[in-house]
Amino acid sequence: MPNQINVISEKCVGCSLCVNNCPFGAITLTERPDHPKKLKLAVIDLHKCTFCGACIESCKKFGAINLIKEEPIKLDIDPSHYKGIWVYAEQRHGEVSPVVYELLNEGRRLADKMQTPLSAILIGSRIESKAHDLIQHGADKVYVFDDPIFFEFQDDCYSDILSHLIKEEKPEIVLMGATNIGRSFASRVAARIRTGLTADCTALEVDLSNRNLQQTRPAFGGNIMATILCPRHRPQMATVRHKVFKPAPRDPNRKGEIIKKTVDSSKIINRTKFLEFIKDTSAKVNLSDADIIVSGGRGLGKPEGFKLVEELAEALGGAVGSSRAAVDAGWIPYSHQVGQTGRTVSPKIYFACGISGQIQHLVGMGSSDIIVAINKDPHAPMMKAANFAIEGDLYEIIPWIIKKIKKSRGIEA
């Protein structure tokens, strides 16, 4: 039975306590002209109500609100039956996604801590040769589904085959990249196997006392970092953003087991038909792979400020990034945005020019090797996060840096 809430009109006295205590503004008072005492009636907007129960507490004296909560699904799961960490080895046209090697690095760390094997799941067509590469980057086992039906990624057939393998092998943790494919794919798999999923994680840890995966991600618009648990279900699933973790080093001498799985395509239901793959050639900036990024923010004061940012990036051989504020102001396209709602980057050097450093932005570039902040405000969060903080007017500082770079290269400024 779904959640139900209703106001008992005979008991409601229109005192407005529930209105004042509802954190979601879901309750209003309406006139009751036919009431003997002309008392108002509380009305609950079910589109806004989250069934939190705050109104029940405020109406204890009158008992005029009735809440029936849906009983949680009770699954008979013995966590001891689940073992191992899995990394979904996302690939497109035979090329393994870079986020996979980052997940293998973090997965290896967690697997060693938990004393459990690390496996990679490789699905595609003519991709068996990539299995050895995954082993050399940390996997103990690689499950390979190599079949023409998987030539192009399609949600139905991919989620069907992975969910069946999870039910069969019972891993305790499944990690996937928070890519376009991962975001679409992971939720479908989680729904099929009836487990939880934490999206866009920025940190992972494990509690060895109960083997719960501690999944940390930004919440409430990035204003807090929430650690989410999935104690009653297995496997525990999480997607992780690209560039959050360092990629696993390659060990050419590393050995592992490759498990080839057969596919009965007649049993796979695919409700979509692949027509054509059209590569996006409009994006000129590849922030995720840039070693040097120069980003501008609201502190530039005007859109023309990005000409200076672009000049510094060109002098350094880097890419141009931006804060969300600059994108929202229309100063630069969204493809340059770094942060929680933009790209996650991890360059060797990150220049933050006129960027205050709100948590939403720090989440997207905090793993940079070196952070250089240029800002008038010495108390800005970015100045505290930076390895090198330069206080002053960026319109004086950046031209000076450009001049020094050009001079060191024998170029006339």
* 257 and 147 together in one domain: yes
Question: Given a cut of 80, is residue 181 above it in pLDDT?
Answer: yes
Cα→Cα distances 2→22, 64, 66, 189, 257, Å: 21, 20, 14, 23, 46
Which helix H or strand E contains 398, and what residues bound it? helix 394-408
**208 inside domain:** yes
- The token pair that represents 148 in the structure block: 């023409």
Any idea what the CATH number is for the domain that residue 253 is in?
A: 3.40.50.620
* 96 and 152 together in one domain: yes
What distance lies between CA 212 and its chain's CA centroid?
A: 19
**28 inside domain:** yes
Residue 375: pLDDT band (50, 70, 90) is very high
Kindly state the percentage of the chain with pLDDT values over 70.
Answer: 95
Question: Given a cut of 70, is residue 1 above it in pLDDT?
Answer: no
Is 198 in a helix, a strand, or coil? strand
Question: Given a cut of 70, is residue 299 above it in pLDDT?
Answer: yes
**48 inside domain:** yes
The span from the first CA to the last CA of the chain, in angstroms, equals 73
Q: Residue 342's pLDDT is what?
A: 83
Over residues 373-400, mean pLDDT: 93
Q: What is the DSSP string of 222-254?
A: TTEEEEE--TTSSSEEEEE-TTSSPPPPP-TT-
Peptide bond into 72 cis (omega under 30): no
Q: Are 337 and 293 in contact (CB under 8 A)?
A: no
Final residue before a domain boundary, out of 68, 91, 110:
68
* 128 and 222 together in one domain: yes
Any idea what the CATH number is for the domain that residue 330 is in?
A: 3.40.50.1220
Final residue before a domain boundary, out of 233, 264, 295:
264
**If we measure between CA atoms, which residue out of 13, 62, 61 comes closest to residue 39?**
13
Q: Residue 349's pLDDT is what?
A: 95
Total domains present in the chain: 3
DSSP for residue 266: G
CB atoms under 10 Å from CB of 72, counted, come to 7
Final residue before a domain boundary, out of 68, 99, 119:
68
- The token pair that represents 381 in the structure block: 């969060």
**CA–CA separation, 328 and 43 (whole Å):** 38
**115 inside domain:** yes
Residue 222: pLDDT band (50, 70, 90) is low
Mean pLDDT check: name the lowest of 218-232, 359-373, 396-410: 218-232
Question: What amino acid occupies position 13?
Answer: V
DSSP for residue 151: S
**CA–CA separation, 248 and 265 (whole Å):** 34
DSSP for residue 202: S
**281 inside domain:** no
- The token pair that represents 299 in the structure block: 């502190």
Question: Given a cut of 80, is residue 365 above it in pLDDT?
Answer: yes
Any idea what the CATH number is for the domain that residue 55 is in?
A: 3.30.70.3270
Q: Residue 381's pLDDT is what?
A: 92
* 137 and 217 together in one domain: yes
Question: What amino acid occupies position 43?
Answer: V
**Boundaries of domain holding 54:** 4-68
* 246 and 387 together in one domain: no
* 254 and 316 together in one domain: no
Length of the chain counted residue by residue: 413
Q: What is the DSSP string of 22-36?
A: -TT--EEEE--TTST
**271 inside domain:** no
* 301 and 216 together in one domain: no
**If we measure between CA atoms, which residue out of 284, 293, 278, 372 comes closest to residue 333?**
284
Is 11 in a helix, a strand, or coil? coil
* 113 and 238 together in one domain: yes
67-110, pLDDT tens digit by residue? 998 776 565 578 888 999 999 999 988 889 999 999 999 999 99
* 255 and 334 together in one domain: no
* 238 and 302 together in one domain: no
* 41 and 83 together in one domain: no
**42 inside domain:** yes
Over residues 213-217, mean pLDDT: 93
* 135 and 229 together in one domain: yes
- Give the pairing of strands 212-219 and 224-228: antiparallel
**278 inside domain:** no
> How much is the mean pLDDT over the chain?
89
Residue 44: pLDDT band (50, 70, 90) is very high
